[in-house]
Structure 1
Amino acid sequence: MAGKSSRDSGYGYGDCGGDGNGDQIFCAIDFFYFLPEGCIAAIISFTSPRDACRLASVSKIFKSAADSDQVWERFLPSDYRDVLRNSDGGLALLNSLSKRQLYLHLSEHQLLDQSGTKSFSLERLSGKKCYTISAEELGITWGDTPRYWIWRTAPESRFQEVAELVTVCWLEIRGKIHTRSLSPDTNYAAYFVFKMSEEAYGFYSPAEVAVKTAGGKTETRTVYLVPQEGQNQRYQIVPRRIGVFNRRHMTGMQPTMQREGDLKLPKQRADGWLEVEMGEFWTQRDEDEEVEMWVREIKAGNWKGGLIVEGIEVRPKPVNIQ
């Protein structure tokens, strides 16, 4: 009786196809079972977080390797320890969670820095860094004048305070970030994060948003800050502190918004805020550039109010991952 072949034994070979002459093709998946777990983990660490989660369901040895600190340490940003040390509660996370748990936590929660004016998280699929710059860190024209802006707490905000517009005719908000704090070789986009109060008025004219890099390249876009469903809203109560001359131009129904095809509308976020994309920029490895971002509406000259500012979020542009 012929001895049992390696194909029949299930070790090393499988029914993976052949060359038509009976030759057997070595199965890659079977080959992995001969490797130490550390080698498997090293190989998985060169894939992606999504691939690691998929491979964890293949077998027990794959799950053990795919869930290991060796794998998820590589998926975390290279400076994640410094980021956590400078964050509120970051050290506790660092000392209590596995690297996989830490990665998942940072992809699901915003971590505030020690000043409480910036938040940090990870993009879930790629592990790229995301930051939100709070309204307190932004340069808001007349933002320190209670006649025009007020600062208050908001239960839906991740920050201590948000900025609420009382009334201005010159709206200008600026922010900046250094690319060294972001993930290298990544296409990023900046998003203005805000809400409109029930008493909001005067936002029938488009606003200008822009992103400018230190190299001088400026990307400017025209957007509306009012969602589609709010474009026919009427003016609310006119603030009493505005003079009679200006009051005359605000009463009655606001003009119909002219929506052009190339103008962008804000989108509703899962956290209840609105966002509108301001522009894109690329982070070059081993280079540090200052990126400026702004939103302004200064051309129409009409008074406006009711804008609630959360901040500016900077995160990687989505990529199609199969």
Structure 2
Amino acid sequence: MMKKADLINGVFLENKRKKKWVDKKSGHSSFMLYPRALSIVWGNVNDYWTWKCFKDMSDDNVEVVKLITICWLDVQGKLEISELSPEVDYEIVFMVRLAKGCSGWELPNTLKLSLPNGQVRERHVCLYEEPKGQWLELNVGNFRTTKGDRGEVSFNFTNTAGHWKCGLLFKGALIRPQKMSP
């Protein structure tokens, strides 16, 4: 049985593929889905991706994945909505970092959120002018949970325009209570 302190500090699930914790301010569930919990097209092909250990904020080693080179980028994640706290506004963000020397990010990337009720939200982000060497939070979208929600919330990061790109690291997808504006 997990103790409250464990949930506040976070517990790893599925052999460090996921991490769950309770947000200190709100008391609501949050999740980090690390790259091994995501579906990455050609993610196990060493010519396209490389897997590395990375020290997480909790001082635990977790795996991140770095794009070597690819023309068809498709990263997908999903989570049972019932694992989240009910009656809460959530946001999903992909945690990514552009490596020095990255290229091919001139065209927009598509971020898509699909909810169990059939709603689909899509937005486009361009990484071309984003800073290199620091973690970026790319907001996929926001949604509200309700009591008794069933089904999966799924989310995608794609760039399938057919041009070659390289130098993007994925730390994972963060699902957390939406940040309130000051």
TM-score normalised per structure 1: 0.52
- CA displacement at 1:110 relative to structure 2: 3.5
What corresponds to 2:39 in structure 1?
Answer: 139
What does residue range 102-113 of structure 1 map to in structure 2 within 5 Å?
102=5, 106=8, 109-113=9-13
Tell me what 1:303 maps to: 164
Q: 1:320 to 1:306 in 2, by over 3 A?
A: closer
**Contact 1:208-1:297 within 8 A present in 2 as well:** yes
State how 1:119-138 maps to structure 2 within 5 Å.
119-138=19-38
Q: What is aligned with 1:283?
A: 145
Unaligned runs of 5+ in 2: none
Match of 1:293 in 2: 155
Name the counterpart of 2:117: 215
- Could you tell me which runs of 5 or more consecutive residues in structure 1 were left unpaired when the two chains were aligned: 1-80, 85-93, 231-267
Aligned to 1:245: none
Determine helix, strand or coil for the equivalent of 2:62.
coil
Greater RCO, CA 8 A, separation 6+: 2
Letter in 2 for 1:136: R
Q: Is the 8 A contact 2:11 2:20 kept in 1?
A: yes
**Counterpart residue type for residue 175 of structure 2:** V
Q: Distance in 1 between matches of 2:78 and 2:101?
A: 30
Question: CA-to-partner distance for each residue in 1:159-200, whole Å, 9 max, x for gaps?
Answer: 531111110111110000011111001111100001111121
Pairing of 1:4-43 with structure 2 (within 5 A)? none
Q: How many residues align?
A: 180
- More helix by percentage: 1
Asked if residue 165 in structure 1 is aligned to residue 27 in structure 2, the reply is no
Maintained 8 Å contact 1:190/1:315: yes
Distance (whole Å) between structure 1 residues aligned to residue 163 and residue 98 of structure 2: 17
* TM-score (normalizing by structure 2): 0.89
- How far the C-alpha of 1:152 sits from its partner, in A, is 1.6
* Contact 1:134/1:159 (8 A) holds in 2: no
Of Structure 1 and Structure 2, which has the larger fraction of its residues in strand? Answer: 2
- Aligned residue among 5, 12, 16 for 1:116: 16
Please report the RMSD computed on the Cα atoms of aligned residues, expressed in angstroms: 2.2
Q: Which structure has the larger Rg over C-alpha atoms?
A: 1
The equivalent residue for 2:180 is: 319
Contact 1:211–1:294 (Cα < 8 Å) also in 2 = yes
1:142 is displaced (CA, Å) by 0.7
> C-alpha offsets along residues 121-174 of structure 1, whole Å, 9 cap, x if unaligned?
222221111100010010001111111111121235755311111101111100
Distance 1:156 1:318, change over 3 A: closer
Distance 1:198 1:149 in 2: 16
Opposite residue 124 of structure 2, the aligned amino acid is: T
